[in-house]
Structure 1
């Protein structure tokens, strides 16, 4: 009989933090084209709409900056609960907003929550997971994000038929519901065993490991004791270095890992997925898609479906091939879409629309652009969407894990803020050039992974130290671990 509370159910529930992230993404993408939103807020365009959209990642920068300290101080679990409280406050402010300033303030507050939860949920998941399924477990975060986007967009699509302000206020208020469940439910869940060890709560560490690894909470299980000793040895080794967390971040030993964690999150944000998440209605309207809202709904459904293979097989396929192939495929999709815009597009004769370049009268070309963007978003959710979370949270040791992931997520949200703010005016100014830009970014990301990112699948968080310290070129270092002794049979 399968126990109700196990690694999978705990991780899935913690992924409600990702659901909130998805809610906030589509809370704007689903309303920017509705007449009620345009009329109430004065038809915001360009930098004004960019400011509204980017308020959430601006708040996320603050949340991510503080997540490392809060997560190490209060624990991963309690810090996530604090983020849930902030989310409820932000949702209330947004739904009651009577001006653009108040709407921006609400999104800032919600963003602080997203910064905290997006940093700490994958850390919590990776620290409770057995190594052989760690990729699958952390992928639940991205799966939840895609579900959040789809659910919120579906709510907004239904509410768009309401001929009043409730068409956008009701979906923003509903956002608070999952946060309430997250806050309450976490009281019954365990602390991270590695966080407990960092606080020298060793008896609790052993009990939590036994709870997570054995059906009968057997603290004398040999594999539980082996993992306990591995954590103990790793923590002792880290403490013997006798250096500050900040000093370790910039030390020669850790510099590569920290920079790689940052590169994963920056690359994730430069794939163009945020462009398609936030402003997809602009794109579909510019290519004369008849029912742009339904086309966007199909896109968000694709995001959910294509995350499933990553959950099932990321620990078999490996991190490197998924990232490289995904980035190259996205690059090709954006290049083709940009080429079609260039060849068949023309200036938009309507001056007060959010796009200055249109494809009109070429139905097959419009459908081809739509297909390219569907393929790009499918590739993103199969590759960079889940694996960036996995990789950033697993390649650094416990002592600086929360701080490193916090720093990586700060970079992520800084890029997200810049992209969200700049895209509306940039889309108008560059016409089709924005697609070429994201294609080049994806090609560059594939190159970085090939040259700098070693394979880490099915290794304990402690064994990953050996990968980075082996001394061979990083893209070859996984070969040196083929004979590594481990408890493969159980984990």
Structure 2
């Protein structure tokens, strides 16, 4: 099928795509679809805020509650592990009640968790709030990019689906800023406000989402054709495009209905996957695994610990440096989102991963150098290099793995498998994130921070090879056309262009 939703680029010799045909004009961004994706993606700000604010709040929680290093790791990583529950359940929930109300459920769950954390009188109470907030985060991570991808025209799907990562990064920056602003308050009060204030955006996000349209693909799946056509009319550039998108969704669902009646979704994904589904699973699970195996979340959570080992000990200085890191991360994720539909997923993913390899290698060398100097005698230039390497690491993550993981995962599954497939992939994402976060400090204390960064660097080398040889390019293709990329056995070189 020929792509009529946007401009099909002419592949260049380097595989990065070419310029649009002179005869074709790239469609303008649909403002209604943009607004819907924007509102849905604001839900992701809750995870980002938690990641950013916890990196500073944990400094005060440790002193106030007198918790051990293991309790610190469990507290930090438990949100990610519990988000596994939400992300795994989100597939069935979103198919049952719709994408829109799943976003509302996500916000409500996180709101309850934030209030419990802010009011926690003890460590077990704090853990309970963290577990509930984690379930809400899991729902959010799966459903926001999925909804954005399903309402987006092919020509702007990269931008709209990557908004989730943009808001995660904005949330991290806000968390850093609140850490810095509230750090001067008494220790028994500052961390409570840092954690509890997240209930406010959760409430307003849940209210705003109620007024958004439902996903056209979900409406078609439920047989609500008139509502689906009305929604497609609003999020498409023309009536012809809306009709074409509607016909493609119907065809995809008809193909699914032609399968044996006993073939249920989970059975088709896990028990008897076709070669096409198996390849999609490898790509989706692989990119989500490497996103979190990179250690990005753990580095952000424990940035103050990393910098303390480098020789920076004043709490306000530690929190201030994280604000600088958040600003650079935010700038680079915006660059990626704006150019994702022009340069494609593969090119930015490879650039981002390559930059992370260099940054982690430099961070490992710098940390090893500082380990050989006594506290109080650590060279200032080496500390500066380590700070620069951390900022470079998170910035290149924001160019590649950060936004592209959500976009790629949300667009490669066929309609009939999209909710559960995304759910499974994000569950792997959350499991790896929680595992890394809950072991990062212990491993680093055993082999040093330098040794830990060298391990992460090696993981990213493997990731680069995986992305280069396995992942096809999906830029500019409709969600239905993307399935054809994974049906072909031996045209990997062509598909990766």
**What TM-score do the two structures reach when normalised by structure 2?**
0.89
Equivalent pair of 2:285/2:425 in contact (CA under 8 Å): yes
Cα distance change, pair 376–359 in 1 and its aligned pair in 2 (3 A): farther
Q: Which one of 416, 422, 428 corresponds to residue 445 of structure 2?
A: 428
Aligned partners of 1:238 and 1:445: how far apart in 2?
33
What residue in structure 2 maps to residue 352 of structure 1?
A: none
Q: Which one of 359, 364, 374 corresponds to residue 333 of structure 1?
A: 359
What residue in structure 2 maps to residue 353 of structure 1?
A: none
Q: CA deviation at 1:360?
A: 3.9
Equivalent pair of 2:30/2:236 in contact (CA under 8 Å): no
What residue in structure 1 maps to residue 64 of structure 2?
A: 40
Q: Which one of 266, 278, 282 corresponds to residue 259 of structure 1?
A: 282
Q: Check if 1:188 corresponds to 2:223.
A: no
What residue in structure 2 maps to residue 413 of structure 1?
A: 430
Runs of 4+ in structure 1 over 3 Å off: 2-5
Equivalent pair of 1:268/1:385 in contact (CA under 8 Å): yes
Cα distance change, pair 130–21 in 1 and its aligned pair in 2 (3 A): same
Aligned partners of 1:284 and 1:20: how far apart in 2?
25
What residue in structure 2 maps to residue 378 of structure 1?
A: 395
Summarize the alignment of residues 337-376 of structure 1 with structure 2, pairs less than 5 Å apart.
337-346=363-372, 360-376=377-393
Equivalent pair of 2:249/2:415 in contact (CA under 8 Å): no
What residue in structure 1 maps to residue 460 of structure 2?
A: 442
Q: Check if 1:161 corresponds to 2:184.
A: yes
Cα distance change, pair 438–475 in 1 and its aligned pair in 2 (3 A): farther
What residue in structure 2 maps to residue 14 of structure 1?
A: 40
Q: CA deviation at 1:331?
A: 1.1
Q: Which one of 260, 264, 267 corresponds to residue 247 of structure 1?
A: 267
Summarize the alignment of residues 193-272 of structure 1 with structure 2, pairs less than 5 Å apart.
193-214=216-237, 221-242=239-260, 243-250=263-270, 251-252=273-274, 253-272=276-295
**Could you list the runs of 5+ residues in structure 2 that have no partner in the other structure?**
1-27
Q: CA deviation at 1:153?
A: 2.0
Equivalent pair of 2:471/2:496 in contact (CA under 8 Å): no
What residue in structure 2 maps to residue 24 of structure 1?
A: 50
Summarize the alignment of residues 140-151 of structure 1 with structure 2, pairs less than 5 Å apart.
140-151=163-174
Aligned partners of 1:359 and 1:67: how far apart in 2?
50
Aligned partners of 1:361 and 1:406: how far apart in 2?
46
What residue in structure 1 maps to residue 410 of structure 2?
A: 393
Equivalent pair of 1:122/1:393 in contact (CA under 8 Å): yes
Q: Check if 1:89 corresponds to 2:107.
A: no
Q: Which one of 115, 138, 142 corresponds to residue 115 of structure 1?
A: 138
**What whole-Å deviation, never above 9, does each CA across 1:395-438 have from its counterpart, x for those lacking one?**
11011111011001111111111111101111211112001011
Q: Check if 1:467 corresponds to 2:493.
A: no
Q: CA deviation at 1:478?
A: 4.6
What is the total number of aligned residue pairs between the two structures? Answer: 461
Equivalent pair of 1:147/1:304 in contact (CA under 8 Å): yes
**3-state DSSP class of the match of 1:469?**
coil
**3-state DSSP class of the match of 2:294?**
coil
Aligned partners of 1:75 and 1:12: how far apart in 2?
18
Q: CA RMSD in A?
A: 1.8
What residue in structure 1 maps to residue 194 of structure 2?
A: 171
**3-state DSSP class of the match of 1:401?**
helix
**3-state DSSP class of the match of 2:479?**
coil
**3-state DSSP class of the match of 1:6?**
helix
Q: Which one of 147, 155, 158 corresponds to residue 132 of structure 1?
A: 155
**3-state DSSP class of the match of 1:165?**
helix
Cα distance change, pair 379–3 in 1 and its aligned pair in 2 (3 A): closer
**What TM-score do the two structures reach when normalised by structure 1?**
0.91
**What whole-Å deviation, never above 9, does each CA across 1:152-208 have from its counterpart, x for those lacking one?**
221122111012422111122210111111111112110000011111111111110
Q: CA deviation at 1:38?
A: 2.8
**What whole-Å deviation, never above 9, does each CA across 1:40-76 have from its counterpart, x for those lacking one?**
210x342111000011012101101101000110111
**What whole-Å deviation, never above 9, does each CA across 1:133-154 have from its counterpart, x for those lacking one?**
1000011100100111111221
Q: CA deviation at 1:247?
A: 2.4
Aligned partners of 2:478 and 2:208: how far apart in 1?
28
Q: Which one of 477, 488, 491 corresponds to residue 495 of structure 2?
A: 477
**Could you list the runs of 5+ residues in structure 1 that have no partner in the other structure?**
349-357, 480-491
Q: Check if 1:60 corresponds to 2:80.
A: no
Aligned partners of 2:222 and 2:493: how far apart in 1?
35
**3-state DSSP class of the match of 2:427?**
helix
**What whole-Å deviation, never above 9, does each CA across 1:235-271 have from its counterpart, x for those lacking one?**
1111112321122213133011012111111111012
